[in-house]
Chains A and B, each alone.
Chain A
Amino acid sequence: MKCEEIQSLLTDALYDELDSGTRLEFDHHLAGCTSCASSFARMQATLTIMKTRERSELSDAEWEAFSKNLQMKLAGPGQRSRVHRTLVVRPAIAWSYGIAALLLLAVGMYLGRTIFSERPLPTPTDAVSSIASGEPSSDSTTQLAMTYLERSRNLLIGVANLSSGNQSKVDLSRPQQVSRRLVEQGNVLAVALNKPDQQLLRQLVRDLQIILLQLANMETQSGVPVVEFVQKGMDEKSILLKINLEQMRAGTRPSSGESSQRRSAKNL
């Protein structure tokens, strides 16, 4: 068999869809061809990673709510509010709310004390004190998220702007250090952003984490590819646009356009 034929059989081989004769030929070719063997191994390795994916399952209380909601939908409109009231006072559900509130309180305090306090920005202090005062709310988490977005934006713009400077002596140690810290913060923040109306924000934090992680793990000696990599990552995900939109949505967009971006770059 030639390499072209083998390439066309990769999917069938992955799913054991080859007859025994073809499989023998396939395996024989792979034993003597490192290129095809490597292609096959990479596909298998990708599937191995994808197998580790986990799902977020529903609890018993959530299933109960699911069934009741479905019953209402099947029965027709007009009964939703009555059942909703019933659900709200169920002890199991009340407990869920209580646990969620405590979790939010703990996460907020952790973020405020151990992370944002190192480089305080205007918003997190207010947010943390509002949480600490016993009023946990999704607004507080959103405020913390806004601070996170602002810091990430500053960092990425700063790194992206390095391309116009002295490319041969780019020192990325400080941005990489900040990047690592932001990746860690993002993990905590993603847990706290658990409300349906925070999905976009949570996804944005995740997108940022990917770019930040890649930045943190890049070789420090070769600055220019890193810069290009960061720019590409930002462009592909429209990161800056999304951050701006989230900030506008939350009413924390500090100022517009270029002046803000220049200031951001200096903040590095």
Chain B
Amino acid sequence: MAAFRELVERSKITVYRMAYDLTGNRHDAEDLSQEVYVRAYRALPGFRREAKWSTWLYRIMMNACTDKWRRESRLTIEPADGPDDFGSAGFDHESPSTASPHEAAAAGLIQQHIDNALESLSPRERSVFVLRHYHDLKLKEIAEILQIAEGSVKTHLFRAIKQLQKQLAFYKPELGLEK
């Protein structure tokens, strides 16, 4: 148990960030991270030493996340969750910022556009994009984690980028891409 706790301490920030990237909000990210560790703890006896701990953990993350998405897809509109047992409701404040209200509003809006664009991706596209772009994993590693062919990873990445491009099309002038 102490060894597992140590593993949790070493990996929890990465795991939480990945969960946040996949779910898009803190509450779900915390829940998913906890779920990952609970599953990992139960599956620990079956962990093969030759496998990388991180790859193994990421695979558990993807499975847990897929299960979550499946559950949600069965519900058109989810009932609101109550605060969890350790009361994260009270902590869900925004980070302090030194930007002016106008700058903060503009920056906030861009972040919202990015979040919305990410949400428009299919679960598989989002997973591949997040693993590649926010966790710097190689295409081969992603293929291993998702247990798909490397070619499929590229296909999903291409589709993801095209979809994001479509969603963020109105930023073209800012990027000097308007004809």
Q: Which residues of A contact B (CB under 8 A)?
A: 10-12, 14-15, 17, 38, 41-43, 45-59, 61-63, 65-74, 80-81, 83-84, 87-88, 93, 96-97, 99-100, 103, 183-184, 187, 190-191, 194-200, 206-207, 209-210, 213-214, 217, 242, 245, 249
Size of B's binding interface in residues, CB under 8 A: 68
Q: By the criterion CB–CB under 8 Å, are A51 and B92 in contact?
A: no
- Cα distance A136–B132 in the bound complex, in angstroms: 42
A15's partner among B12, B26, B33, B139 (CB-CB below 8 A) is B139
Q: Are A45 and B95 interface neighbours, CB within 8 A?
A: no
Q: Which residues of B contact A56 (CB under 8 A)?
A: 20, 25-26, 94-95
Number of A-B contacts (CB under 8 A): 177
Q: Which of B38, B109, B158 contacts A11 (CB 8 A)?
A: B158
Whole-angstrom distance between the alpha carbons of A84 and B87 in the complex?
Answer: 8
Inter-chain contact B161/A46, CB cutoff 8 Å: yes
Nearest residue, chain A, Cβ from B174: A49
Known: A10-B158, A11-B157, A50-B114. A200 touches B77 (CB 8 A): yes
Indicate whether A65 sits within 8 Å of B115 (C-beta atoms), given known contacts A12-B154, A49-B171: no
Enumerate chain B residues within 8 angstroms of A74, measured Cβ to Cβ.
Answer: 1, 4, 37-38, 41
Which of B33, B94, B104, B175 makes the CB contact (< 8 A) with A49? B175
Q: Known A11-B158, A46-B161; judge A57-B168 contact (CB<8 A).
A: no
User: Which 10 pairs between the two chains have the least Cβ-Cβ distance?
Assistant: A197-B80, A46-B165, A65-B86, A45-B175, A97-B90, A194-B92, A69-B86, A196-B27, A187-B105, A11-B158
Give the one of A49, A72, A73, A210 with max B CB within 10 A: A49
B30 interface residue (CB < 8 Å to A): yes
Do A46 and B164 have beta carbons less than 8 Å apart?
yes
Q: With A56-B95, A209-B109 given, is the CB distance from A66 to B30 under 8 Å?
A: yes
Q: Are B112 and A206 neighbours in the complex by a CB distance under 8 Å? A: yes
Inter-subunit contact A191/B81 (CB<8 Å): no
Whether A103 and B93, one on each chain, are in contact in the complex, defined by CB atoms closer than 8 angstroms, is yes
Known: A43-B161, A57-B95, A70-B8. A199 touches B27 (CB 8 A): yes
Extra A-B contacts (17), CB below 8 Å, given A93-B87, A187-B104: A17-B139, A49-B168, A49-B171, A50-B133, A54-B111, A55-B20, A61-B91, A66-B16, A70-B8, A73-B34, A73-B37, A74-B38, A194-B94, A195-B89, A209-B109, A209-B112, A245-B77
Known pairs A51-B133, A70-B8; A196 contacts B88 (CB<8 A): yes
Per the bound structure, the CA–CA distance linking A196 and B170 in Å amounts to 31
Which residues of chain A have C-beta atoms less than 8 A from B83's C-beta? 195-197
Which of these, B37, B82, B109, B162, contacts A196 with CB under 8 Å? Answer: B82
Q: Which residue of A lies closest to B93 (CB)?
A: A100
Whether A88 touches B87, Cβ cut-off 8 Å, given contacts A48-B175, A74-B37, A100-B93, is yes
| Residues on A with beta carbons closer than 8 Å to the beta carbon of B105 | 184, 187
Can you name 9 A-B residue pairings with CB atoms under 8 Å?
A: A43-B161, A45-B165, A46-B168, A55-B20, A69-B84, A187-B108, A210-B112, A213-B109, A242-B77
Q: Is the CB of B95 within 8 A of A196?
A: no
Residue of B84, B90, B114 with most chain A CB atoms under a 10 A cut-off? B90
Residues of B near A242 (CB, < 8 A) are 77
Cβ–Cβ contact B91 & A100, under 8 A: yes
CA distance A51 to B114 in the complex (A): 9
